[in-house]
Structure 1
Amino acid sequence: MNYPDTYYSRTLTERKERPALSGSVDCDTVVIGGGLAGLTTALQLARAGQKVVVLEAKSVGFGASGRNGGFVSAGYATGVEQIARMSSAETARQLYLMSIEGVDFVRDTIARLGISGADPVDGVTSVMRYDDGAGMRSHASEVRRMYGQQLEYLDMVRVRQNLKSARYFHGLRDRKAFHIHPLNYLRGITDEIERLGGVICENSPAVSTDLAPYRKQVRTSNGAVIARTVVFATGGYTGRLNPRLKRAMLPIATYVMVSEEAPQLIASAITTRDGIGDNRRAGDYYRLVDGGRRLLWGGRITTRSASTAGLVQELRREMTNTYPQLRDLKTELAWSGLMAYARHLMPQIGEMQPGVWHCTAFGGHGLNTTAIGGKVVAEAILGQSNRHHLFTPFGLDWAGGVAGLAVAQLTYWKLQAQDWWRERAA
């Protein structure tokens, strides 16, 4: 199987390999990209009776979809206030509600399909690294009023009961958010698409397209798919096949490490199964995996290829600064993956031309937003809704190329500095 060496690839519950495309195939819709967005789109179309073909260049979930932190929680890569400035207050409200719907979709899909290997664990807690309990309580009250979202405020005593760190002050717990094994989730979806008659072709990179109005064709090295509709869902691994899409996103690398098996040592620092993320603008996230026997810790971004080993040292430094008692916890495995970011930090979802759709750029907040993105694209293709228009303000703007990558890296460093200063002042 064509996967990088990650905790997820090592703990797959099934290892079925799917053949590459060979010859010519006719279908209703061809989806390019076998990640979360593409497979969710294909699943919804197959459920509606469409004949669907998915072309994946490597193996399903090869990219960031199968390498991420596994957190399923509401929201986008940017905040509601910024979304409202780019669109309107009502659009921002509806989009946030859709992100909650995305969380529900993933949970319901796991239950409906019986994807036991997804291993959902309830609860995600956001912790604050400076003292502003009033601000956290106010935020909890606001999201309850606006969206009906129930966030539980945790004072410092309760936070430090579960997280033995002097770095943390307050927290907000979302009991409806959860964390999962994303690669097993994806492969469960893939099995269902095939059960419904869909075709998944791995090791089948699309090399060219003919996007004529009535009869579209996507070619690979060994075959071609003829379809009425094409969906591009290529994320951070978007290549030259679609220049307009490629120029509209920035590939950003993020890094994850998993510890050795050391349940007692880990329990000296962390006694909750909640997924944890801090409130910093350049923060880290972590959770217990393997039944609490290992710690998965992620964070840091770079805009160009970097040494994973070097970035792991930074992650370890952050981990031990937060939890000095974990200084002897060894890192067993580390990896990186490419996320797609747009300049506006919102998903890019819509119809590029008649019958040609895109669903990409989820900016590191993809498990819920890819679900809702794939769902609304499928709804539009099927004529069931026009909810994709909510994403119209967040178009395929040029991301700036090399200069855009440089600005993104400088912005990240600036956020790190602001985080450091804010915590030092506290």
Structure 2
Amino acid sequence: MTYPDTYYRRTLADEKVRPPLAGLAECDTVIVGGGLAGLTTALQLARAGREVVLLEAERVGFGFATGSDNIAAMAGTAAAQKLHRVSIEGVEFVRQTIKDLDIKAAKPRPGIIGVLRHDGGAELKGHAERLARDFDYPLEYLERDQVRAVLQSERYYQGLRDPNAFHMHPLNYLRSVADEIERLGGRIHEATSAVEARLDGPQKTMRTANGEVRARQAVFATGGYTGRLLGQLRRAMLPIATYVMLTEEAPELIASAIATTDGIGDSRRAGDYYRVVEDGRRLLWGGRITTRAASPAALARELRREMVGTYPQLAALKTELAWSGLMAYARHLMPQIGQLQPGVWYLTAFGGHGINTTAMAGKVVAEAILGQSDRYRLFERFGLTWAGGPVGLAAAQLTYWKLQAQDWWRERPR
């Protein structure tokens, strides 16, 4: 049992394997899913002295949004402001966890730049002003020449830089969090799929192939790999594939195009996102979404086409590795966080919302279980809406193609 071959797998700080569950385990809370949301929930509960058992079908961290105006329209301005503060708190929570646990292997790097692929400076500057005014969150506005001073591409116009945001090695972060959970007495079992959940009554039971867990609380944090264990959760999310590639080592060639260690993302829906890694020696490039995962060769061709279209000077840069992963999306494009019934919690649909929001989901659910807050209620209006099954997936793909056409029209030469 191992991780798929990705950049994160190749740069793991350790290869510790955790044993499958065998026999009976009893605890305060059983958590299904060893991604960021599940591990954060387990960490906060373990820090509070609760007994935790976490079940992960594969390996810890195996599985690697909508704008504020839309959120305000759905939730109201006051709620949108609270949700934004939660997301900013998530950045600080992850940053502080890296510091507290001394996770050097996470290699955090400050700075995220969002860039426009069309001339829209006035609108972008207005957006920055609204964020500063309504959410007390200042961003650095970059004119076209400032963007192109660090990103040598004719495709880019204006941009916004978030100096408070950062990017990191997520898998090393997750594995260090798992180590801390175990140090605090929590139990993590890999290669352990939950095959049956009995959730009625005060005791919740999660059965696996070779054992079962009995607990007072059950948490489902399964993301894009949600199976049929809990039908209501499965029906409420769409598994959407996203793609990433890693280039060969070519530091001088990469530096001729990209002169920043900031993470970069463009303005398109499901646009490109990328950053230099290994001290500038390689480029990690991601983008595109589909409702069905493509072959590694096909996705590498698609991503290379995007990279070279953006930076023609990188045409000689070879692709060394490409892979895909599933993200969970809800029909309303917001995270789904809440209580299904007394003692049964869910956290899913974080596609497009980032590490900070996903981590905060685990934190607010842990707070609810511990009786510390009811902040999870901020997400109640974004519930487990049926995602439409196969029809929903087809609609998602059609929506993506429509958005691509809109992007093309907006970016066409004038």
TM-score interval (norm. to shorter): over 0.9
Q: Which residue of 2 aligns with 1:368?
A: 356
Q: Which residue of 1 aligns with 2:150?
A: 162
Q: Which residue of 1 aligns with 2:225?
A: 237
User: Aligned runs of 1:207-356 on 2, under 5 Å?
Assistant: 207-356=195-344
Runs (4 or more) in structure 1 with deviation over 3 Å come to none
How many Å separate the matches in 1 of 2:90 and 2:285? Answer: 24
2:354 aligned partner, one-letter code = G
Deviations 1:285-340 (A, max 9, x none): 00001111000000011102322321221111111111000000000000000000
Tell me if structure 2 keeps the 8 A contact 1:300–1:311: no
Tell me if structure 2 keeps the 8 A contact 1:140–1:150: yes
2:287 aligned partner, one-letter code = G
Where does structure 1 lack aligned partners over 5 or more consecutive residues? Answer: 65-76
SS at match of 2:360: helix
Residue 364 of structure 1: CA displacement? 2.9
User: Aligned runs of 1:47-196 on 2, under 5 Å?
Assistant: 47-64=47-64, 77-196=65-184
Residue 137 of structure 1: CA displacement? 1.6
Q: Which residue of 1 aligns with 2:7?
A: 7
2:276 aligned partner, one-letter code = L
Residue 96 of structure 1: CA displacement? 1.1
How many Å separate the matches in 1 of 2:270 and 2:216? Answer: 43
How many Å separate the matches in 2 of 1:364 and 1:5? Answer: 23
Q: Which residue of 2 aligns with 1:403?
A: 391
Residue 365 of structure 1: CA displacement? 2.2
Residue 147 of structure 1: CA displacement? 1.7
How many Å separate the matches in 2 of 1:141 and 1:112? Answer: 34
Residue 136 of structure 1: CA displacement? 1.8
SS at match of 1:207: strand
- Whether 1:29 and 2:29 are equivalent positions in the alignment is yes
Q: Which residue of 2 aligns with 1:72?
A: none
Give the alignment's TM-score, normalised by structure 2.
Answer: 0.98
Tell me if structure 2 keeps the 8 A contact 1:129–1:168: yes
- Whether 1:412 and 2:363 are equivalent positions in the alignment is no
Residue 229 of structure 1: CA displacement? 0.2
How many Å separate the matches in 2 of 1:50 and 1:240? Answer: 28
Tell me if structure 2 keeps the 8 A contact 1:250–1:342: yes
1:82 aligned partner, one-letter code = N
User: Aligned runs of 1:378-397 on 2, under 5 Å?
Assistant: 378-397=366-385
The number of residue pairs the alignment matches comes to: 414
How many Å separate the matches in 2 of 1:394 and 1:307? Answer: 33
1:298 aligned partner, one-letter code = G
Deviations 1:158-182 (A, max 9, x none): 1111101111111110001111000
Range moving further from structure 2, 277-286 or 172-181:
277-286
2:330 aligned partner, one-letter code = A
How many Å separate the matches in 2 of 1:149 and 1:258? Answer: 33
How many Å separate the matches in 1 of 2:17 and 2:91? Answer: 29
Tell me if structure 1 keeps the 8 A contact 2:299–2:322: no
SS at match of 2:57: coil
How many Å separate the matches in 1 of 2:298 and 2:368? Answer: 44
SS at match of 1:90: helix
SS at match of 1:167: coil
How many Å separate the matches in 2 of 1:289 and 1:142? Answer: 33
Tell me if structure 2 keeps the 8 A contact 1:282–1:419: no
How many Å separate the matches in 1 of 2:413 and 2:3? Answer: 44
1:23 aligned partner, one-letter code = G
How many Å separate the matches in 1 of 2:192 and 2:327? Answer: 21
Tell me if structure 2 keeps the 8 A contact 1:162–1:271: yes
SS at match of 1:301: strand
1:192 aligned partner, one-letter code = E
Residue 354 of structure 1: CA displacement? 0.5
Tell me if structure 1 keeps the 8 A contact 2:224–2:326: yes
Tell me if structure 2 keeps the 8 A contact 1:213–1:355: no
SS at match of 1:292: coil
1:182 aligned partner, one-letter code = P
Residue 359 of structure 1: CA displacement? 0.6
1:94 aligned partner, one-letter code = K
How many Å separate the matches in 2 of 1:223 and 1:233? Answer: 20
Tell me if structure 2 keeps the 8 A contact 1:255–1:308: no
1:63 aligned partner, one-letter code = G
Tell me if structure 2 keeps the 8 A contact 1:32–1:55: yes
How many Å separate the matches in 2 of 1:223 and 1:230? Answer: 16
How many Å separate the matches in 2 of 1:202 and 1:293? Answer: 33
SS at match of 2:245: strand
Tell me if structure 2 keeps the 8 A contact 1:250–1:405: yes
Give the alignment's TM-score, normalised by structure 1.
Answer: 0.96
How many Å separate the matches in 2 of 1:379 and 1:178? Answer: 25
Residue 425 of structure 1: CA displacement? 5.0
SS at match of 2:213: strand
Report the CA distance shift for 1:409/1:319 in structure 2 as closer, same or farther (over 3 A): same
How many Å separate the matches in 1 of 2:290 and 2:2? Answer: 24
Tell me if structure 2 keeps the 8 A contact 1:2–1:62: no
Q: RMSD in angstroms over aligned alpha carbons?
A: 1.0
Deviations 1:57-86 (A, max 9, x none): 01000112xxxxxxxxxxxx1112212222
Tell me if structure 2 keeps the 8 A contact 1:352–1:358: yes
Residue 244 of structure 1: CA displacement? 0.5
